[in-house]
Amino acid sequence: MKKLSNEEISFFCLELSLMLHAGVGVGEGLCLLAEETRDDETRSFLTDMADCLDQGTPLAEAMRRSGRFPDYVTGLVDVGERSGRTEEALQSLARYYEDRSRLEHQLRSALLYPAILLLMMLVVIVVLLVRVLPVFNEVYASLGGCLTGVAGGLLALGRALDRGMPTLCVLLALAVGFLAAFAASGGFREWALAAWSRRMGDRGVSRALHTARFAQALSMGLSSGLPVEEALTLAASLQQGAPAARTRYEDCRDRLEKGESLADALRQSEILPPAACRMLALGLRSGNGDTVMEELARRISQEAEDELQARVGYVEPALVIVTSALVGVILLSVMLPLMHIMAAIG
């Protein structure tokens, strides 16, 4: 069964929390949401959840039975119901998945635009090598010369590419299909990003994004009244596609079990920066640990987004410079000898 997207989870949790705040019961709120939606499939599962609640099933269990929500959502709602803070848990989930949805859109743009730009520039270069250079070679042949040096090597490369054109077309179609699937399918995008994370490890922007997600989830767990160990376990469960990150979280959990404070465990496990751990330690001592963690999560998320945007800012000019330089080399290697020949004839 298809899971809800981050944006859909955020809207669902926000609307349900607003209804609870207005004094509307959960079952009645689900019925109202079902009446408002235009999608038959969504209306059906909301109605089924409302029927479960009418039979005395808790909200978390109804959400789990629907198969539409991640385990993290149902787990936190379950804790909220047991602690009498369902509304706060739903509000925290709405903010968290709104942030995840925004970051997902930014990540998709960051990956798609440079890839499309590179693909277009490669097409231009292949056209120059395969179609344009042979024309110049014929011009040289009519003047009693031939392409040599760099131009001759590029001409040979163009002829090789021309012979392999069917393979190039297949590769181009696969690349276009991959980009289209990445842009349109959330499930495929998650699979591709998880594979990238497993292959590239836990460095640079990837690590910053993992840390931001963990900090947001930990903040949400603490603000919802979860014990520290349970909040840490739920937050770590989001990092299934990052083995290196999971190793750090397991080390942090082991340190907590040995009696270390949360701030010390996070610092020793190198999950959060030392400055953030010092602020968290002060917040925990003053009884405002959840508030401080929420502010730290906001800052860490903003830093991760800024780093992502900075990397994209480096990639785009680099692609333009490199591909433009290649096009310039191709044209100059052809035009300069031609200018010498024309000057000799003149």
In the chain the domains, ranked by start, together with CATH numbers, are 6-98 (1.20.81.30), 100-346 (1.20.81.30)
The residue-averaged pLDDT of 298-305 equals 79
Q: Return the pLDDT at 158.
A: 63
The better pLDDT of the pair 13, 127 is held by: 13
In whole angstroms, give the CA distance from residue 175 to residue 80.
Answer: 45
pLDDT at position 346 over 60: no
The residue-averaged pLDDT of 45-70 equals 86
Backbone angles phi, psi at 319, to 5 degrees: -65, -45
Q: Return the pLDDT at 130.
A: 73
Contact 118, 319 (CB under 8 A): yes
Q: Return the pLDDT at 168.
A: 64
Q: Return the pLDDT at 127.
A: 76
CA distances from 158 to 41, 129, 162, 267, 323 (A): 53, 4, 6, 55, 16
> pTM to 2 decimals?
0.61
The residue-averaged pLDDT of 228-249 equals 72
Residue burial 230-255, b: 16+ Cβ < 10 Å; e: rest = ebbbbbbebbebbeebbebbeebbeb
Q: Return the pLDDT at 195.
A: 62
Helix (H, G, I), strand (E, B) or coil at 270: coil
Q: Return the pLDDT at 183.
A: 59
pLDDT tens track for 63-79: 888 888 887 788 778 87
CA distances from 221 to 20, 89, 319 (A): 20, 8, 42
Helix (H, G, I), strand (E, B) or coil at 326: helix
**Helix/strand/coil percent split, the chain, to 5:** 85, 0, 15
The residue-averaged pLDDT of 78-99 equals 80
pLDDT tens track for 117-128: 777 777 777 777
- Give the range with max mean pLDDT: 86-90, 107-111, 175-179: 86-90
Banded pLDDT at 41 (limits 50, 70, 90):
confident
The residue-averaged pLDDT of 252-274 equals 85
Average pLDDT, the chain: 76
The residue-averaged pLDDT of 47-64 equals 87
Q: Return the pLDDT at 118.
A: 73
In whole angstroms, give the CA distance from residue 285 to residue 291.
Answer: 12
Name the residue among 224, 226, 287 with its Cα closest to residue 85. Answer: 224
